[in-house]
Structure formats: C-alpha cells, structure tokens
Structure 1
C-alpha cells in the first residue's frame, strides 16, 4: 500500500500527521524534510535572545520522537527533486517513492532584495531553526564585540526581532522604505506608538530608506565591527550583522515544476486539494480558496487547515473554515493584537479610546481591530463585534 507522503516538517507538516493519526492509525505515512525534522515553534525564533534560549533549547520534540509517537516513516535531510502526478511518484535524494495522497507543506522562503557590496552574501534571514542557529552563532561570536544588528524591514518579524535583540542588550538599527513600523498592518497612531516604544529600548529607525550596500569594514572607523552598511538616505553604519526581515514568499518551485496551478501560492480549493487530484497543500505555501485566494502565514490558519485536511485524507472530504484569527505580535515594549480587515475592504481606522483602534466598514460595521498595551485583554470582546 502506497503511503500518504507529507513534504515538509514544519508546523503544517507535523500537525497534519498528528491530526491524521487521531483518525487513522494504520495507513502508512511518510514525512520527508530537507532539515532534521525536529519539532519547534517557529514564532519562538523572534523572541529567543531576550529569553536567553540557544537554538537547541527551542526544540520541543526531537524528530525521532515525533516519528515514533505518530508512527511515521521520517526521511530527514532528504531533498525532493520532482513530483509526477500522473504516476503518483516523487523523486528524492534517497530514491523514488509512490504515494496514495501527497501533502505539500513546503512553506515559504525569505524575500531577498538585491544589495550591492562585497559582503552582500553575509546578509542573514531567519526562517527556520537552521537559519536561527547560523544567526545565533554569528551574534554570539566573541569576535563580534559590538553586537550591532541592522535589520532590513520594519514589518511584523522585523519589529519582533528588534524588540528581542534590544531587550537582550544588542544595539539595533532598522531600515524600511515605509513611514513607520508595520505600516501595512497598523493605523498611523498605533505604528507611531510602536516606533516610540521600541525607540525607548534604544532601537534606531531609518524610515524612507533601504539598504544600498553591505561591504567588509576596512576603514579606520570600523573598530571591531565586520561590516559597513550604507543606506539609500546617505546614512552609513558599522555593524556586526545584517538581518533581512523583508517578508516571505510561498515556496511553489516544486509544485510549479510538476504543473500545478500556482499564483501567490499553490492554489487549493476549499478542501485544500490542488489542481491535481491526490495532491494537497497547506501552510505558508498555500493559496486558500476559503480565504479569498489569500496566503495565510500564521499559526491559527495552519491548525485549522491541518484538521480539515486530516479528515479528508482519512476519507471524509472536509472543507476548511477559517474563523476570526487575531494575531498576537511579540513586541513586549508595546504588546499588540491585530485583526486586519480583508484586503480591499472599504472603510477607515478609528481610535475610539487609548490603545483601541477599530476598522469601520462603509456601513459602519467593525471589520478589524488593533489592541495595544493593556487593551489586548479585550480581544474576545472586540472579536464578538466583528462576528456580530
């Protein structure tokens, strides 16, 4: 009997396996991943420094234990090279395998923008535990005495890292072409409050600016820093490390090569089936019909999708229903909870009281909210207004 094969050992892949095993304990399951397969909470990558947690401490369950508990055959450190939907086979670095159903939990890859300079290849991105391990090793290197980090991007992840690194005692500079932190997600007043809260920790902001070049620091002002960064606004700084947090793009390479329909992500219907029968997708790499053809790069959508997909794989076609999914942003300097309105929703942000913003639709109905500071305790109350 050909197994159900899951490609990807992130939250989407392992959660699908776990939810499936609740419904079916006998069908063989194979999980293939390019990394070790260890289970960890990806959101913990952007708040580990302040907690003093090393990469190994972020692993909640080793891969071998996950595989044993869920009765899954794990192929770690294995590259999937191609899929053949017609024959229901995949080619990997460990051989070819047939599948009964195939799950693509391939995630997303960091967006990298062109940067000039002889050290452009030293710019880090953190999108996995392996990425974090490399970043952690560089930042804790005894030779990196300045511990100055320049972050490219003031979006959600960039702000979480800025808060985490500044709290851990590092010097932090952030450059972003927008007018404020999380400008695409927050109303102007909330963005300004976050800017000021992180500035109080020592974060230096450069808005309306991008990184122009990253070079090895060889001039007299370099001291012990390794890199010299030049911004588009003319500012130059000597730093120890550059972290790119510009955003993520769905990893559709494997799906596209196999002829599956892909747009912003792997296109799936309400039951998470791709354009090819017997192939499903979820997680950061999927574009959900049930979410107005959007990608949903957060934990709660992954959990909902995995439960629905597990039921489908077990024989009962189940459509995923995404409820209201508030996002808690890990910026302790100014805690935030956000429910963003759907893209293109007509309306505007209104600040009814300190720390509370509501996005009001054209007919005067609540379509989103932002809660800051102590107001974050009102998430349930505000969610009910949207669902009413």
Structure 2
C-alpha cells in the first residue's frame, strides 16, 4: 500500500491554519506537518489591535493552544522552528540539521515589520512591533513592567497607517498616554483622501492622542539608566519620549526563503497564479507573503478565500481564485471607517456628507467608481458600494 502523501505548511498564522482546516475538511488521510517559528497557538490576528482596551492577555486571545490544534487537525506541529532552506528538486525542507520530505509544500510565511531608520542597540528591548500573538505578549509584558516601575505607560507609535491608527485608538482607550508620529500629514494616508484623514485626526485629538504628523524619524535612542525613557529623535530636531515605542512602519512580504529556493518573488511577494501555484512544481503560497498576479492583499477576507481555493487545488480540483471588492474595516472606534482603496489612477474624489459622516468615492477619468472611503454613519453604505466597485482581482 502506498504511503499517504505528505503536505508541509510553513507558517501557522491565519493563512496556514485556515488552509490546514480547509484541507482536513476534504482530506482526512494525508500526513499534515505544520512548521511555526512561534508558539503555534491559534488566534485571530485582527483582534490584537482591539485587545488592550479589553484588558485581554495573550492567553485569553488564543482560541486554541498548539496542543489542541494538533488534536483537531490530526497534524504534526513543529513550534519555534525556522526553516533554513528548501530543495524544490528533491522536495525537501530543512530545519537546521533536520530534513522533512514533502509531496506538496505551502509557504504561508506572512510579512515582517519594516524598520526604515536606525535604532540604537541600547533600546532594542523597548522598541517593538506587534505582528503575532507572541509579539503581543511581549509588548504587553514590557508595558506592564514599565508601569510597575513607576513610569506612566507612555507609548510612542511610529506610523499612522492601518496598524498604527488601530493601536493608537486601542492603547488610548486602555488608559495609556499615546503619541502618534508619522511622516504623512494625515492619518491613514494610503487608505483615505486627505479630507477624511483630517477628520480621523480630529477624532484622535478629541480622545487625547497626541499627533506629530509631517515628521520623519531620525533615530531612536535612550539614556544609560535602566529605566531611562526612550527618545524618538525627529529630523526636525525635536524629540518625543516614551516608556516604549511601537513601530507601525509597514510590512514587507517574507520572500527570502522562497528566493533562496529559486522561486519567483519580489517586493510584492512570492508570485503565484490564480491557483496559488508558485514558479516551481508542488510549491504553493498564500497569505501576506503571496502576490496573486501582482496583487498582494493583506486582509482577512482575501486570505480566507485563498485558503479555500488552495485546499481545493491541493485535493485535485482546478479552482481559480476570484477576489471580490472586499473593503477594509478599520478598527478605530473614535471614528468608524471603511475603505476600498483604488488600484488605478484617481481622476478625482467625490466627497459628500458633513461632520463625521463622510462619503468619498474615487472616480477615474471616465467617472467610473474605482474605490471609496466612508466614515461615521456613512459606513452603512459599504455593501452597496462594494457591489459597484471593480473586483480586487480583475
């Protein structure tokens, strides 16, 4: 009797675990091996940026421990393991000295935080990013220790994109002093036209988030004393101090491992077709690390759709990915926001409404809707506009 095939998934974020569940719903017999560089617990990443205000620990955020996940999936799980190389010809994955043979390999590597400026070695432990559950646990512990040492729990957030804005709102709601530093003049510059960004800025001002926008960071340093505050030095010459710094300066798809294995990859991610197949046979990719025909969508709904499609393809069906016009729901209770950023040139923004309730529609040169952004009560129009907007993957 032929041995069951071996499926190896590298990565246990929402993409990797979502795929594993979708696979097991179709395939009960294949050997399934999950490789994780962290604890391997199952959790919903979007909840991380709402958890401080709720007083939730990392343990409370975990829907399942790694042990329970193994039982559910009838899988093998290697935690705190880093894949060092992949041999696509021999179909082997190397974890240091250990070799895993595979029939099908899936790269669900996620994306890594960018660090676009120098950070002094002396402050490394207090300059952090939150990109997974382990990061959340470490940040929370560091913040708690600072407050117990008599500091005020002051947090400087660098970056006013989606992650920076969500954590600014959440940490402020949790009672911390928050300063938001960003090069852009308005929050969510990549998602919102400036008129709506200014409205979000006013909402942040109203809840007590201090904003230093239009400011570039030069470096991050600290004094020699153990509990000396961290200083974020700006190119303007000003500096802002905090107990710790949260970097929210964007994410870069993890592609180094794929490039080392000879797969086609670039700044947009590991390149895959609509079946989620890479440039090498029997190797697939999905989630934040993958670029589907040039589109990298680091949001929940595209990820979930990709997991279902890839599970079907791994089980012998020829299914192509079809991404709809899914908007981004921004978790900023100070001002509810929904946005579907345009992927082609905007001729003009048609903005209506007043106060917090704004409706902004991105139009092309032919006056066709190509994206939108909604704030306040206007977010109720998200489904209506999603039906009119072009799909994420055309």
Coarse TM-score class (shorter-chain normalised): over 0.9
Q: 1:262 aligns with which of 265, 270, 288?
A: 265
Correspondence for 1:274: 278
Q: 1:108 aligns with which of 96, 108, 111?
A: 111
1:226 is displaced (CA, Å) by 2.4
Q: Is it true that 1:19 corresponds to 2:25 in the alignment?
A: no
Residues 1-32 of structure 1: CA deviation (Å, up to 9, x unaligned): 34011000000001111111111111121111
8 Å contact kept, 1:119–1:214: no
Distance 1:300 1:170 in 2: 31
1:116 is displaced (CA, Å) by 5.0
1:61 is displaced (CA, Å) by 1.3
8 Å contact kept, 1:78–1:94: no
Distance 2:241 2:203 in 1: 24
Correspondence for 2:202: 196
Correspondence for 1:341: 342
1:360 is displaced (CA, Å) by 1.4
8 Å contact kept, 2:278–2:284: yes
Which range moved further: 155-164 or 234-243? 234-243
Matches within 5 A, 1:293-312: 293-312=294-313
| CA gap 1:117/1:38 in 2 versus in 1, 3 angstroms | closer
Distance 1:271 1:35 in 2: 28
Structure 1: stretches of 5+ with no match in the other structure: none
Correspondence for 1:325: 326
SS of 1:80's equivalent in the other structure is: coil
1:281 is displaced (CA, Å) by 0.2
Distance 2:219 2:366 in 1: 48
SS of 1:22's equivalent in the other structure is: helix
Structure 2: stretches of 5+ with no match in the other structure: none
Correspondence for 1:89: 92
Q: Is it true that 1:352 corresponds to 2:356 in the alignment?
A: no
SS of 1:287's equivalent in the other structure is: strand
1:215 is displaced (CA, Å) by 2.3
8 Å contact kept, 2:130–2:139: yes
SS of 2:100's equivalent in the other structure is: strand
Distance 1:229 1:260 in 2: 39
CA RMSD of aligned residues (A): 1.8
How many positions carry a matched residue from both structures?
Answer: 381
Residues 225-277 of structure 1: CA deviation (Å, up to 9, x unaligned): 52233212222233100111000000011111111110121010111110000
8 Å contact kept, 2:123–2:222: no
Correspondence for 1:145: 151
1:118 is displaced (CA, Å) by 5.3
Distance 2:118 2:98 in 1: 38
Correspondence for 1:361: 364
Distance 1:81 1:144 in 2: 42
TM-score (norm 1): 0.94
Correspondence for 2:82: 79
8 Å contact kept, 2:329–2:338: yes
Correspondence for 2:181: 175
Q: Is it true that 1:212 corresponds to 2:218 in the alignment?
A: yes
SS of 1:79's equivalent in the other structure is: coil
Distance 2:237 2:9 in 1: 48
Matches within 5 A, 1:114-133: 114-115=117-118, 117=120, 119-121=122-124, 122-133=126-137
Distance 1:242 1:340 in 2: 28
TM-score (norm 2): 0.93
SS of 1:370's equivalent in the other structure is: strand
Distance 1:239 1:383 in 2: 41
| CA gap 1:119/1:174 in 2 versus in 1, 3 angstroms | farther
Distance 1:47 1:356 in 2: 25
Distance 1:168 1:380 in 2: 31
Which range moved further: 27-36 or 92-101? 92-101
Q: Is it true that 1:59 corresponds to 2:62 in the alignment?
A: yes
